Amino acid sequence: MSDVDHLHELLGLPAVDFQSGTKDGSRPAAGAAAWRVFVEPYEDEDRTWEQEFAAFLDEVDPAGVRALIIGQWGESYEEKSSYPIGLVIAAAERLTSLEAVFVGDLTMEEAEISWIEQSDVTALLDAFPALLELGVRGGSELSFPATKHERLRSLTIETGGLPVQVVRGVLDSELPALERLDLWLGVSAYGGDTDVADLAPLLSGTRFPALHHLGLRNSEVENEIAAAVASAPLVARLRTLDLSCGTLGDEGAAALLEGQPLTHLDVLDLHHHFLTEPMERRVAEALEPHGVRVDLSDRCKPWGDRGAAGRYVTVSE
């Protein structure tokens, strides 16, 4: 499964498709939108992403742009994201207000998530020291060597299989302002070789002192993650815990309830799960009276008669 939508917003700004040649009066102000720059390889055969981005810089005041969404840049399964990233970095002196970038905003119709060829996305952090949000979709060829950035508040990596080297690079990074971390861990069949033990530096609470939102999502080992989270020191300072879109079943939910108190959370997101109705009630009755908003939507059934082996994540290929 691999059904993801285009972003609706970034940095709290509505996503707006940039279309070259549009009359100025019909566009929002440069800083009032998250601008999605893209090309359609079959419809715009003679139009490159470089040309479209150049038009964007000419037609939208680059000094006012706060959020940029890198959409389809051609045949994304053939050309790495270093191509559009390099062009954005080359324009850094013009994009003086840029605070958020998302790389790879492609839907299944444009490219399966496992087909999106990524690259070293930390180059954006080096080029934009004022960046507050960074998002990435696609794990193939993705690189995130340990880096340092003083202002980054939100990091999202969406994959159908997140390589462990990326996880290690993130966790070895110095990101003192990081408040939100969302990792879509995915499945081993598509490169998701992260083990629960690899998350230990994160769950220990010794990394990212400002972190209050944690998503460890879309994992085929969601039960093991839940069991590790149940006793993790980090959880005591979280406001949002997101274990959604994976293979979570009764065993993982029971581990959460039997572990440290979760009543301090604002949100526990478990949507797309394999809990039975009695366990759903147990989770809701344990937390909702304390003001925790629990998302138990999208209860799933395993494929066939395979039991736990038939569970599946939301996004894989």
pLDDT tens track of the chain, all 317 residues? 446 899 999 999 999 999 888 766 789 999 999 999 999 877 666 789 999 999 999 999 999 999 999 999 987 667 999 999 999 999 999 999 999 999 999 999 898 999 999 999 999 999 999 999 999 999 999 999 999 999 999 999 999 999 999 999 999 999 999 999 999 999 999 999 999 999 999 999 999 999 999 999 999 999 999 999 999 999 999 999 999 999 999 999 999 999 999 999 999 999 999 999 999 999 999 999 999 999 999 999 999 877 788 999 999 98
Backbone angles phi, psi at 264, to 5 degrees: -80, -15
Helix 222-230 vs helix 250-258: angle between axes, to the nearest 10 degrees? 10
Check residue 277 and give its pLDDT: 98
Structure tokens at 36: 């999605």
Which strands, in side-by-side order, build the sheet including 13-17? 9-10, 13-17, 34-37, 67-70, 100-103, 133-137, 154-158, 180-186, 213-219, 240-242, 267-269, 293-295
Of 267, 218, 258, 259, nearest in space to 238 by CA: 267
Of 18, 4, 3, nearest in space to 69 by CA: 18
Return d(Cα 285, Cα 260) in angstroms, integer: 16
Check residue 1 and give its pLDDT: 43
Check residue 78 and give its pLDDT: 78
Q: pTM to 2 decimals? A: 0.96
Check residue 315 and give its pLDDT: 96
Q: H/E element holding 88?
A: helix 82-90
Decide: 136 and 100 in contact? Cβ < 8 Å: no
